[in-house]
């Protein structure tokens, strides 16, 4: 009983998620239809994989704004390389290039000592430009098995959503049950104290940038499988969406707090919000400012709570 109370007090946003689900179920008969739930789960899975990768960076006290262009670039590399060398080499090439981007971000932050915000903002712009040069227009991919995987489902659950849940479980185990995860929390809580305790801070910071880029690459590949094509403009707002997901779920932007379950809750909440706006006919332009307001509100709440803990 005490453990259940502790869990519920720690996961307050679960109540918000359940309330939103009940409200949407009552407000719109379309919400619980199989087609709509499948679409929601698919969107949650794709952007959720990128968000969980971002969670590692934020918990470690860093930020990666380049995940959107990395998602687009991974899809472009997959499509362009597959036409020449086959799917296997194309998949390896996409992951390898994106891993190099993560290593570059990590080196610039820890070696050159540029802030992660400036570093990943610069790489975001650079990767966006490269993606447009390589593939100015959307290009389809014609691999039946891959497209079947991207659009296939079991009941209302797409295959990619099932993969996402597996990734969540893996991330939760890594964060909460391994030495690597504990050290990430230590670095995010206080890099100086972690260094004095003998933790190789720079190595851990580099590793989270690598993990974030690989997660974004995986999300980009899933997006190609879902949509059947790649484009330089796909996932352009992925970084801001991920930050919103994580902060709403309870992961602090100051680092050292949160886990994969928090990320999952926030991802579901924002997924339902986005779907609700679509169901009720809110235009794309209005969705942008509404999501922007939500981001401002949740970041402000995070800052207020952080300041209260310091008092």
Measure the CA dihedral 260/266/268/271, to 10°: -130
DSSP string of 202-256, one letter each residue:
HHHHHHHHHHHHHHHHHHHHHHHHHHSEE-TTTTTTHHHHHHHHHHHHT--TTSS
pTM flag (> 0.85): yes
What residues pair up with 154 in beta bridges, in sequence order? 157
pLDDT, one tens digit for every residue, the chain (311 residues):
555 555 555 677 788 889 889 999 998 889 989 999 999 999 999 999 999 999 999 999 999 999 999 999 999 999 999 988 889 999 999 999 999 999 999 999 999 999 999 999 999 999 999 999 999 999 998 888 888 888 899 989 999 999 999 999 999 999 999 999 999 999 999 999 999 999 999 999 999 999 999 999 999 999 999 999 999 999 888 998 898 889 888 888 888 888 999 999 999 998 998 898 888 888 777 877 887 787 777 777 767 766 666 55
Query: What pLDDT score was predicted for residue 278?
Result: 87
Query: What pLDDT score was predicted for residue 283?
Result: 79
Query: What pLDDT score was predicted for residue 305?
Result: 66
Q: Which of 125, 147, 153, 128 is nearest to 78 (CA)?
A: 147
Query: What pLDDT score was predicted for residue 59?
Result: 95
Query: What pLDDT score was predicted for residue 105?
Result: 96
DSSP string of the chain, one letter each residue:
-HHHHHHHHHTTHHHHHHHHHHHHHHH-TTTTSHHHHHHHHHHHHHHHHHHHHHHHHHHTT---TTHHHHHHHHHHHHHHHHHHH-HHHHHHHHHHHHHHHHHHHHHHHHTS---HHHHHHHHHHHHHHHHHHH-SS-EE---HHHHHHHH-EETTEEHHHHHHHHHHHHHHHHHHHSHHHHHHHHHHH-HHHHHHTT--HHHHHHHHHHHHHHHHHHHHHHHHHHHSEE-TTTTTTHHHHHHHHHHHHT--TTSS---HHHHHHHHHHHHHHHHHHHHTT--HHHHHHHHHHHHHHHHHHHHHHHHHHH-
Structural domains in the chain plus CATH codes: 44-303 (1.10.3470)
Distance in angstroms (rounded) separating the CA atoms of residues 182 and 164: 23
């Amino acid at each position: 009983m005490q453990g259940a109370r502790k869990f519920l007090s720690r996961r307050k946003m679960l109540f918000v998620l359940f309330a939103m689900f009940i409200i949407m179920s009552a407000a719109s008969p379309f919400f619980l239809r199989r087609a709509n739930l499948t679409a929601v789960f698919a969107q949650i899975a794709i952007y959720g994989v990128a968000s969980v990768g971002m969670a590692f960076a934020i918990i470690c006290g860093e930020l990666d704004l380049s995940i959107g262009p990395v998602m687009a670039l991974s899809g472009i590399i997959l499509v362009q390389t597959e036409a020449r060398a086959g799917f296997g080499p194309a998949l390896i090439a996409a992951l390898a290039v994106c891993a190099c981007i993560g290593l570059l971000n990590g080196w610039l932050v820890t070696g050159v000592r540029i802030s992660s915000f400036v570093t990943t903002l610069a790489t975001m712009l650079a990767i966006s430009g490269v993606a447009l040069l390589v593939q100015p227009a959307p290009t389809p991919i014609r691999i039946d098995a891959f497209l079947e995987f991207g659009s296939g489902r079991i009941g209302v659950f797409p295959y990619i959503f099932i993969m996402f849940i597996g990734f969540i479980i893996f991330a939760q185990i890594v964060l909460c049950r391994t030495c690597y995860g504990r050290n990430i929390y230590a670095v995010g809580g206080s890099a100086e104290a972690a260094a004095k305790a003998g933790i190789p801070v720079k190595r851990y910071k580099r590793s989270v940038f690598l993990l974030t880029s690989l997660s974004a690459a995986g999300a980009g590949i899933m997006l190609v499988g879902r949509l059947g094509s790649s484009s330089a403009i796909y996932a352009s707002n992925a970084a801001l969406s991920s930050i919103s997901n994580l902060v709403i779920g309870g992961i602090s932007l100051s680092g050292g707090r949160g886990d994969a379950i928090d990320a999952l809750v926030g991802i579901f909440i924002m997924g339902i919000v986005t779907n609700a706006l679509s169901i009720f006919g809110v235009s794309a332009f209005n969705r942008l400012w509404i999501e922007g307001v939500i981001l401002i509100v949740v970041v402000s709440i995070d800052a207020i709570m952080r300041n209260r803990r310091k008092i």
